[in-house]
Amino acid sequence: MRINRKRLEESMTALGRVGETPKGGLNRLALTDDDRRGRDLLVRWLRETGLTVTVDQMGNIFGLRGGREPLPPVLMGSHADSVPTGGKYDGQLGVLCALEALRSLDDHKVVTRHPVGIAIFTNEEGARFQPAMIGSGVMAGKIPLEDAYNARDRDGVRLGDELERIGYLGPEPCVPRPIRAYLELHIEQGPILEEEGLPIGVVEGIVAISWSRVIFHGVQDHAGPTPMRIRHDAMVAAAEVVRGVREIPRRLGGDMVSTVGRLDVTPNITNAIPGRVSLAVDLRDPEDAKLDRALAMLDRVVQDAAKGEGVRQEIEHYWRVPRTPFHPEVVGAIDAAAKSLGCGHRRILSGAGHDAQYMAAICPTGMIFVPSRAGRSHCEEEFTPMDPIEHGANTLFLAARDLAGRAG
């Protein structure tokens, strides 16, 4: 029992035209006219497949295929929005493989005990409205609906108003509900599967993530007449921290990653010694305990940098998500499906957040990764060859079928 590769490829091409960039990438920001066109096409396909289509208060789209018994459904899904000048694989591939799996259940006349369905989540990327993963976040009860509606884009446009404008402010309550399992196929967005020549990553969970804000207050002064010996330069302290943050994973080892992705400099002009610099630090590790050690090291790096330059420091570890382990039964079903296909696979952790992270809070959840060429994503060069995509779609199809229980 296999999916139909040609049909999957055709739907990838058709949806990929909606919001396509001149260089062959994708620019389909959440709740724009292109997002609406993409949603309309998907809804048409879901209806043609005979699914019962519903839209919830967050614009999340669901399509359900009935089971033999009135039990909680197995859901497969991902998101259909992209970043600006993104690629045609991030999110969209998971949605289309889920649709292909549902179409294949019909091809093979499979009757399942549990219903099986698709979930297409709103604004996963967080490129237009923050926070990211807002549709699944509200559904998991982690983000209040009103906060989500009041999120505004760069031009001050409200998310709630845009949902209404594009016709996807649905009537279904966006709340946690009984779900047998949630499965998400996604591109890896890292280099491991390609480097090891494996088509399938059986994702065991998502790494722990922590965000910190560091601020140095120095003495703002003229870049000319102020001798070096009396300077207290906030930028010099910040530079020490950039270097120190890079050192933390090297000292702790393993798979930790660290990034200073943002610097805000005051006054940020050529001829003034910076009086104030703030830095944003992103730290990620598979183990929560190791992340704690990294944060203690970061505190020390910041203290030493402040002392060395004679500036005042503030540090705040303001956002933390613990490691999200996926459900052993779902991970096991994905593993078994990959094994039965005889294709190469390995256990892997996700370094990026996904809708599956929120879904894991309300139901048994697992993910399937397929390789990203050169590990690249969120760019027009994003690419995954059709062979691993076919393996991934088959793994998704078989795992969902097995979790839904075959009824003859």
Binding site for Zn ion (CB under 5 A): 90-91
The least distance separating Zn ion from the CB of residue 65, rounded to whole angstroms, comes to 24
Residue 91 or residue 117: which is nearer to Zn ion going by CB? 91
Number of Cβ within 10 Å of residue 15's Cβ equals 24
The least distance separating Zn ion from the CB of residue 156, rounded to whole angstroms, comes to 26
The least distance separating Zn ion from the CB of residue 91, rounded to whole angstroms, comes to 4
The least distance separating Zn ion from the CB of residue 89, rounded to whole angstroms, comes to 9
The least distance separating Zn ion from the CB of residue 168, rounded to whole angstroms, comes to 19
Residue 78 or residue 104: which is nearer to Zn ion going by CB? 78
CA neighbours within 13 Å on the CB side: how many for 302? 24
Q: Which amino acid is at 373?
A: R
123: left (phi over 0), alpha (psi -120 to 50) or beta: left
Residue 29 or residue 215: which is nearer to Zn ion going by CB? 29
- Best CA proximity match to 45, nearest among 101, 113, 121, 86: 101
Residue 131 or residue 344: which is nearer to Zn ion going by CB? 131
5 SS3 class: helix
Q: Are 119 and 56 in contact (CB under 8 A)?
A: no
The least distance separating Zn ion from the CB of residue 74, rounded to whole angstroms, comes to 20
The least distance separating Zn ion from the CB of residue 81, rounded to whole angstroms, comes to 9
DSSP 329-390: HHHHHHHHHHHHHT--EEEEEESS--HHHHHTTTS-EEEEEE--GGG--SSTT----HHHHH
The least distance separating Zn ion from the CB of residue 394, rounded to whole angstroms, comes to 21
The least distance separating Zn ion from the CB of residue 190, rounded to whole angstroms, comes to 13
Q: Are 21 and 74 in contact (CB under 8 A)?
A: no
How big is the chain by its Cα radius of gyration, in Å?
A: 23
Tell me phi and psi for residue 331, to 5 degrees.
-60, -40
Residue 184 or residue 285: which is nearer to Zn ion going by CB? 184
Q: Which two tokens stand for residue 322?
A: 């613990």
Residue 90 or residue 309: which is nearer to Zn ion going by CB? 90
Q: Are 180 and 404 in contact (CB under 8 A)?
A: yes
Q: Are 289 and 304 in contact (CB under 8 A)?
A: no
Residue 67 or residue 91: which is nearer to Zn ion going by CB? 91
Residue 125 or residue 240: which is nearer to Zn ion going by CB? 125
Q: Are 325 and 180 in contact (CB under 8 A)?
A: no
Which residues fall within 8 angstroms of residue 227, CB to CB, at 6 or more apart?
none
222 SS3 class: strand
Map tokens 């922590």 to a residue.
210
Residue 91 or residue 201: which is nearer to Zn ion going by CB? 91
Q: Are 184 and 367 in contact (CB under 8 A)?
A: yes
